[in-house]
Every structure is written in structure tokens, then in C-alpha cells.
Amino acid sequence: KKSSLSEVKVAVIGAPSVGKSALTVRFLTKRYIGEYDHQQESKYKHEALLDGEPILFEILDTCPKSTEELPGSEIAQWADGLFLVYSITDRESFNYVRRAKQRLQPDIPLTLVGNKADMVHLRQVSPEEGEILAKDFECGFAEVAAAEQVNQVGEVFHELCREVLTNRRRA
Ligand code: GDP
Ligand code: MG
């Protein structure tokens, strides 16, 4: 991988409808937008300061058509870091993340994200299960709501990017 020091490539992985695009758009625009492209994989470039340092973020918002479609190895090859996103309201999406991780076997920083935390009344996956899976993956974990909590989504992205930069400097 030949990313320059100030470039961070992140892929957003997860089953259909967990909120990958909502989280991506939330991070990029600080807004929750109902209208965006739901049908296609999209790549975004976004310049922003991280701890005072200018960073070029590249975000790949993946778009599997079904839970049968797992991400290909080229994604983990391209990315510096991965978001593994499930919905706390969708048990199958939690299983998807597990299968995707197994398939990719990534050796890059990961963050496990349980989205739709605002929908507690429809919860199918407990926070404890998320924590246990993150421990298994040896990665960070957060429950978030793309629909709310602007700063929280930004902070989760930034935390992953800090880890990417720290690893790169160590290498
Ligand atoms: P994707 O297929 O993973 O990209 O999922 P989308 O971003 O298209 O979101 C799927 C649906 O879930 C949309 O109707 C979103 O408005 C909704 N959604 C996304 N994030 C949240 C969230 O945090 N809370 C709630 N309640 N709905 C969400
Ligand atoms: Mg999408």
C-alpha cells in the first residue's frame, strides 16, 4: 500500500440496510440525509483536519445486494481501515459482520459499529454481544445512531483514522 502519510482509506462493510450510507454521509456532511444513492457502491474523498493535521479521507461505501454477498479481498487490500457495521435491530446483520471478517481476515485496524442505537424497542443484538465480538476481533466497538448524535459518528471515524496513522508511523 502506498498511501502518503496524510491519506486514510476506509471501507464501510456490512449487510444491506444497516446504515452504511447513512453513517458515511453523516460523517461527510455532518447531516442525516434521507436522500442518497442506495443502489451503488460509492467512493468519496473528503479533506479535513484530524488533531490539527490535514488528512485526505477516502471512504468506500460498499453495497452488497444481499446477505449472501460478502466483500471481496480487494477491499481489504485497498483499505487502511475497516468499519464493520451491523444494525442492533437485525440479528442477521450481526452474523454478516462475523462472516465478512472471517472471509477478509484483515490485518488492518477495524472498528465494529452497532448502528440504529436509537431503535432500542426493536433491539435484537445486546451491547454485551457487540463488546464480546469486538474483543474477539481485537478491535474498537461503538453503538451509534446515524440518525442522531452527530459528534459521536465523527468521533468513531476519527478514532479509527488515528489508529491507522499510529500504525503507519510505527511501521
Ligand atoms: P445501507 O444499505 O447499509 O447503506 O443503509 P442505508 O444508509 O441506506 O440505511 C438503510 C435505512 O436505515 C434507511 O431508511 C435509513 O434512513 C435507516 N437508518 C440508517 N441509520 C439509521 C439510524 O441510526 N437509525 C434509524 N432509526 N434508522 C437509520
Ligand atoms: Mg448504502
Report how far residue 132's alpha carbon sits from residue 125's, in angstroms, rounded to the nearest whole number.
11
Report how far residue 89's alpha carbon sits from residue 75's, in angstroms, rounded to the nearest whole number.
26
pLDDT in tens, 73-126: 999 999 999 999 999 999 999 999 999 999 999 899 999 999 999 999 999 999
Query: What are the pocket residues of ligand 1 if the criterion is a CB atom closer than 6 Å to any ligand atom?
Result: 14, 16-22, 34, 38, 115-116, 118-119, 145-147
Q: Are 118 and 147 in contact (CB under 8 A)?
A: yes
DSSP 67: T
Centre of ligand 1 to C-alpha 98, Å, is: 20
CB atoms < 10 A from the CB of 104, how many?
A: 22
The grid cell for 39 is: 443502489
Q: Return the pLDDT at 171.
A: 79
ipTM of the assembly? 0.99
- The lowest-confidence range among 6-15, 29-38, 106-115, 154-163 is 29-38
The grid cell for 13 is: 462493510
Q: Outline where 66-123 has alpha helix (H).
A: 73-78, 91-104
Instruction: Report pTM.
Output: 0.94
Q: Return the pLDDT at 61.
A: 95
DSSP 111: E
Centre of ligand 1 to C-alpha 171, Å, is: 36
Residue length of the chain: 171
